[in-house]
Structures are given as C-alpha cells and as structure tokens.
C-alpha cells in the first residue's frame, strides 16, 4: 500500500523597505491556510496581519506593506 506524501509547507520572511518591519508568512500552496504576522514586534503579543487567508491575499498584502510606515502596518494588524 502506497502512502500519501505530506503537503509541502512554505514559509518565508520579508523586510519592508520603508518601515524596516519584518513580516513572516507560512502556509500550504493551493490551500487557504496562510498566515502573515509581524516577526520583530513586541514579544508579548504577535501582531497578525492575515489568518486563514489564501496565498494570493498574503502575497498581495506583503506588496502593499512595502510602502507603509510602521504605524500603518501595526494599525492594519489584528490584535
């Protein structure tokens, strides 16, 4: 009996140009389980930018965040 291969996980980090914020993301291709969060924020709480989103939404969010300030990105994040 041949077993199924586990789904490949993708993760990465991107540093935003204007604000210097590092945003980490991870998920599975072709599934809507992607998450993006601020990696170098405060240690007591993770600021989540997107949760249970599609890969396209997360990548679009990362592109939009490139031109935002730190305050704008933190305002966009869910607590």
Mean pLDDT of the chain: 88
- Report the sign of the C-alpha dihedral through residues 15, 46, 43, 67, in that order: positive
CA distances in angstroms from 26 to 36, 50, 69, listed in the order given? 7, 11, 23
Residues in the chain: 79
pLDDT in tens, 46-59: 789 999 999 999 99
Q: What percent of the chain has pLDDT over 90?
A: 63
Cβ atoms of 28 and 8 closer than 8 Å: yes
Give me the pLDDT at residue 66, please.
94
d(CA 76, CA 79): 10
């Amino acid at each position: 009996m041949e077993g199924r291969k586990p789904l490949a996980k993708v993760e990465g980090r991107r540093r935003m140009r204007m604000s210097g914020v590092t945003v980490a993301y991870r998920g599975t291709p072709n599934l809507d389980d992607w998450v993006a969060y601020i990696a170098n924020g405060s240690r007591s709480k993770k600021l989540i930018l997107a949760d249970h989103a599609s890969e396209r939404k997360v990548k679009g969010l990362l592109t939009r965040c490139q031109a935002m300030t730190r305050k704008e990105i933190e305002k966009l994040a869910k607590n």
